[in-house]
Structure 1
Amino acid sequence: MTKANAISGILFDKDGTLLDYAKSWVPVNHELARIAAMGDEELARRLLLAGGMDPDTGHVAPDTLLAAGNTVEIAEGMVAAGSPMAVAELSVLFDGLFAQSASMAVAVTDLAGFFAGLHAKGYRLGVASSDNEQSIRHTARRFGFEQYLDYVAGYDSGYGVKPEPGMVLGFCAATGLDPHEIAVVGDNNHDLHMGRTAGAGLTVAVLTGTGSRQSLSAASDYCLNDITELPALLPDGGAPRRAAA
């Protein structure tokens, strides 16, 4: 049996994996920098650069703060780079911005159909993101796949933060699966390292976010153009449906 044939659950990252990162998050990054800079455009440019984004091209470097950080980490980074605001205040403002921005996100594919297909094959499905849980659930409702999810975890859900293994282990607890039965799918090394640390059966990288084949190769078993290539890796007959613990 191959590692892929043992998979019964799939845990997806959200941004850059289910959502096209550049189309969904570059405008949000500009806005969060303006918030952190309190309207100072020159400071906002410096904050974007400190976060890993070119303010002119919108390119976000792999595994930088804006590519992989959670709300609090981004707020801390903005303050360290010169924002005059407090970390706690920025965190609240950023969480509000991120939740609001879910309504403008651009999906990689028809997510309702994609998740329905995997659910029909018997896979347990979850989303684990460095965004807040409210934003994840808003995204799932907006794109019509909430009913197929067995598990949702954000940085604020109590499972710890990436690349710690807690979100994967929480998925195991919610579904009754063992780590070796789970595939973790993401666009940056925080996702993949989380999966590896938890003992996930597969780590699968996608190129719809900020990572490249070069930056993601060491920590991934497979590197795909996008999530639509994932079903071809998995058994045609589907994984056995396991009862939740």
Structure 2
Amino acid sequence: MTAPANRRDIAGIIFDKDGTLFDFHTTWADWTRGLLGALAAEHATSPEILARAVDFDLPTGRFLPGSPLIGATNREGAELLAGAIPGADAGAIEEAIRLTSAAAPLAAAVPLAPFLTGLSARGLKIGLVTNDTEYGARAHLTSAGVLAHFDFIAGYDTGHGAKPEAGALLAFAQQMGLAPSRVVMVGDSTHDLIPGRAAGMHTLGVLTGIAKTADLTPYADDVLPDIGHIPGWLDA
């Protein structure tokens, strides 16, 4: 892939959703606890058994750093949980995840409307690429009041593949008429940054997810506390 151009030539920006636009723990801890409790009650099993299957700490309500749910698609998460429940239907669990996650309470990493308005004022095209469903992504952006700010939205089921594949990132560049070298991919995990590098894009890590600076640095041009520091990074 072509090496990224100077950051002053950036004309497009792609965001991950969970852990990037929205703080990961604050948004998903209570929802995950509720999901595990509901599945345990439905299938007469223990929430602790399900929590161990996905590396979720029930007493603290925190995802462990190695949790396979981090960066997973709904289908992948459903299959992990179904594997811990004898006779469970992964498809039914996937549908439960799709519907309940779309209504999860959101905790924005920064006030999103003014932040995104500022990026648009710079002439930047704005995209979202998530391993959530496109349905869930649109529901969350609508709930946050920022759906109209996005020129491109792709979930794992949109047709471009799931991260860490680079298909959706390249689809954004193509649809916006931009060389990948003029795009920056922003995310909180290596699942976001690895495809950004593979696509020949700039990559920015943020610390509003599970990963630490040391985890992201090998794959990121820079690591920022949160997305609110991006305008300063663009101007540096």
TM-score of the aligned structures, taking structure 2 as reference length: 0.92
User: For the aligned residues, what is the CA RMSD?
Assistant: 1.9
The answer to whether the 8 A contact 1:34-1:40 is kept is: no
Q: Give 1:142's aligned amino acid.
A: S
The answer to whether the 8 A contact 1:116-1:148 is kept is: yes
Instruction: Please give the residue correspondences for 1:51-200 in structure 2 after superposition, counting only pairs within 5 Å.
Output: 51-62=54-65, 64-82=67-85, 84-101=87-104, 104-200=105-201
* CA deviation profile, 1:195-218 (whole Å, cap 9, x unmatched): 112221x11111111111122121
* CA deviation profile, 1:136-180 (whole Å, cap 9, x unmatched): 112222222222211001111111001000110111122011111
The answer to whether the 8 A contact 1:63-1:189 is kept is: no
Question: 1:96 Cα deviation (Å)?
Answer: 0.6
Alpha-carbon distance in 1 for matches of 2:171, 2:40 = 36
**Relative to structure 2, which stretch is displaced further, 91-100 or 112-121?**
91-100
Task: Give the equivalent residue in structure 2 for 1:3.
Answer: 6
**Relative to structure 2, which stretch is displaced further, 117-126 or 173-182?**
173-182
Runs of 4+ displaced beyond 6 Å: none
Alpha-carbon distance in 1 for matches of 2:226, 2:136 = 22
Q: Give 1:212's aligned amino acid.
A: K
- Could you say what secondary structure the match of 2:57 adopts? coil
Question: 1:50 Cα deviation (Å)?
Answer: 2.1
- Aligned pair in 2 of structure 1 residues 195, 2: CA closer, same or farther (>3 Å)? closer
- Could you say what secondary structure the match of 1:65 adopts? coil
- Which ranges in structure 2 are unaligned for 5 or more consecutive residues? none
Question: 1:63 Cα deviation (Å)?
Answer: 5.4
Task: Give the equivalent residue in structure 1 for 2:211.
Answer: 211
The number of aligned residues is 233
Question: 1:85 Cα deviation (Å)?
Answer: 1.5
Alpha-carbon distance in 1 for matches of 2:81, 2:180 = 35
TM-score of the aligned structures, taking structure 1 as reference length: 0.89
**Relative to structure 2, which stretch is displaced further, 168-177 or 137-146?**
137-146
Alpha-carbon distance in 2 for matches of 1:44, 1:6 = 50
Task: Give the equivalent residue in structure 2 for 1:241.
Answer: none
The answer to whether the 8 A contact 2:43-2:85 is kept is: no
- Aligned pair in 2 of structure 1 residues 54, 199: CA closer, same or farther (>3 Å)? same
Alpha-carbon distance in 1 for matches of 2:38, 2:129 = 26
- Could you say what secondary structure the match of 1:144 adopts? coil
Q: Give 2:162's aligned amino acid.
A: V
- Could you say what secondary structure the match of 1:196 adopts? helix
Alpha-carbon distance in 1 for matches of 2:110, 2:44 = 35
